[in-house]
A and B are shown apart, each in its own frame.
Chain A
Amino acid sequence: MYKFICKARTIFLLPIALFALWYFLSADSHNFFFPPLRKILGAFDQIWLTATGTVDIVASLERLAIGFGISLAFALGAGVLLGSSKVLRDYLEPVFEFFRAIPPTVMIPVLLVISGIGDASKIAVISFGCLWPMLLNTIEGVRAVDAVLKDTCDIYHIHGVSRLFVLTLPAASPQIITGMRTGLSIAIILMVISEMFASRNGIGFAIIQFQRTFSIPEMWSGILLLGLIGVLLSLVMRLIERYFLSWYEGLRARS
């Protein structure tokens, strides 16, 4: 318990200090673009903690989850295939390098034209953007599965689906999760940007609306919200990592 308190203090000390600093330094601010934090927090309360605000948050998170989920499923499937086959890799990797080099944001106008301003275009943009780090990391992880472990599986007749879950995916999991981290931060960026372009709801949509109507405290409150969502999601990633990679941390600490 004492340890826990110590750790919590380490984690929260600086954020709280910065927040307090912001709060007091901006308290008397008359600058239109940098309103007092007090006002921003007031706007936060009024906008995001209400029914309409929740609709925006839910809409955004839904797109994020679906886009990220599609990409992850595809990255795992294709990554295992490509990681196991040198021939496939040789054919496809140059193409991947090309696609990966395309900034995902330029796909927004294209996809808007193709699939309109509904959810589909935004989900497509998010998927496209966060696919590459996850796919390439999975390929690399699967490719690097230890030869002795493969021999061990051969000797003990561990094949097919059970080999996938016993050997391939766990062995590649450190890389897969690294890819997921990168993919997730790209997905959040694309979620916001795609909503700013053309949308009817979502956090990005709301922020751009506030900016256009010069509702500056409200705009800042949206940015604050995005920061909080980012922190929460990275916490979720941390939990996933702790669950799947405790062996890896232990192994690394030993050697």
Chain B
Amino acid sequence: MNSTTIEKMDAPLTDTPPPMLAIQHLRKVYEGNGRTVEAIGDVTFSVKQGELVCIVGPSGAGKTTLLRCIAGLLAPTTGEVRLSGKPVSGPSRGMAVVFQEYGRSLFPWMRVAENIELPLKEKGKPAAERRRLVTESLEAVGLKDAGGAYPWQLSGGMQQRVAIARAIAYEPQVLLMDEPFASVDAQTRAELEDLVRSIWARLGMTIVFVTHDIDESVYLGDRVVVLSASPTTVMRDVAIDLGQSRNQLTTRSEPRFGELRSQIYTLIRDAKHVTP
């Protein structure tokens, strides 16, 4: 009897493919000037294929450090990141990143279409496919006619759309976004949030979205991973049961939205006071 239950539990575990993204006991310590700073204590969570997971935490929680470790831009001190089962040891072709500083992540000496095409060239895509991907991705972000412009001729929100277009044209397995809308105005921000939702729904992409904005995390995510203050651990993994179609007006005024928002808000407020 006992053995059969174990078998039943084991069988699906070995059969199911590994999660799209698995972060296991990740720890990051910065050393320098005779001072060691433990930025990330012990972070473990995983992201399933096709999920949109938001990561929030109090300011200074090492969110960006965590994202850089996941992206392979920074080597963790201990622990590891796995992308569909394979350990990540440097930037992976399966991931693309949208940075917060849109003004500094696009090449100002290249036109918009060239910016999007460049990674595809490095990937060895043939010219015809590159053109198709550039056109499609620009259409997906609502900038069909902007291909010939230089990034600095566009507004901040439009530049971030270009960065998103470049990332989705790269066809990554996982799209990482590091506080991508932190420096655009509120209205543009709402538009871009809906853009992320619609792209995610259409392309079935896996997205990890780091933000310091609690409302944004609840509005966007399937799940919200709440981080503690530094040295960072995962405090709570909150499932967001707000349904698939979300709307800036109605979703944000649902009672459930308010509940989730205050739940996460309380967690983060407490996190700030727990660690000095």
Q: Which of B108, B150, B170 is in CB contact (< 8 Å) with A156?
A: B170
Does B123 contact A157, Cβ atoms closer than 8 Å? Answer: yes
Residues of A within 8 A of B91 (CB): 154-157
Which residues of B have CB within 8 Å of A166?
Answer: 107, 118
Inter-chain contact A170/B101, CB cutoff 8 Å: no
Given pairs A155-B96, A155-B97, A251-B108, 6 additional interface contacts (CB within 8 A): A147-B104, A155-B71, A155-B95, A157-B93, A166-B118, A248-B108
Beta-carbon contact of A156 and B105 below 8 Å: no
B residues with CB within 8 A of A: 71, 73, 91, 93, 95-97, 99, 101, 104-105, 107-109, 118-119, 122-123, 150, 152-153, 170
Q: Is the CB of B96 within 8 A of A254?
A: no
- Complex interface: chain A residues within 8 A of B71 (CB): 155
Q: Are A247 and B123 CB-contacts (below 8 A) given A154-B91, A157-B91, A170-B109?
A: no
Q: With a CB–CB cut-off of 8 A, which chain A residues contact B122? A: 156-158, 162
In the bound assembly, the distance between CA atoms of A149 and B109 in angstroms comes to: 12
| 24 A–B contacts, CB within 8 A, in A order | A148-B99, A148-B101, A149-B105, A151-B73, A151-B97, A152-B97, A152-B99, A152-B105, A154-B91, A155-B71, A156-B91, A156-B122, A157-B91, A157-B123, A158-B119, A166-B107, A166-B118, A167-B107, A170-B107, A247-B108, A247-B150, A247-B152, A250-B152, A251-B150
Select B105's contact among A148, A162, A173, beta carbons within 8 Å.
Answer: A148
Whole-angstrom distance between the Cβ of B267 and the nearest chain A Cβ: 30
**Residue A93, interface by CB 8 Å:** no
**Residue of A167, A173, A251 touching B152 (CB-CB under 8 A):** A251
Bound Cα distance from A255 to B107, whole angstroms: 16
In the complex the two chains form, what is the Cα distance from A158 to B118 in whole Å? Answer: 9
A146, CB-defined interface residue at 8 Å: yes
CA distance A39 to B96 in the complex (A): 71
Proximity string of chain A (152-192) to chain B, C-beta cutoff 8 Å, 1 when within and 0 when not: 10111110001000110011010000000000000000000
B107 lies within 8 A of A149 (CB): yes
What residues of A have a CB within 8 angstroms of the CB of B101 in the complex? 148
In the complex, which of the residues A148, A156, A167 contacts B104, with contact meaning CB atoms closer than 8 Å?
A: A148
Residues of A within 8 Å of B123, CB to CB, are 157
Q: Which residue of A lies closest to B93 (CB)?
A: A157
* Given A167-B107, A250-B150, residue A151 in contact with residue B119 (CB < 8 A): no
Give chain A residues whose Cβ lies under 8 Å from the Cβ of B153: 250, 254
Residues of B within 8 A of A173 (CB): 109
Closest Cβ of chain B: how far from A4's Cβ, in Å?
A: 25
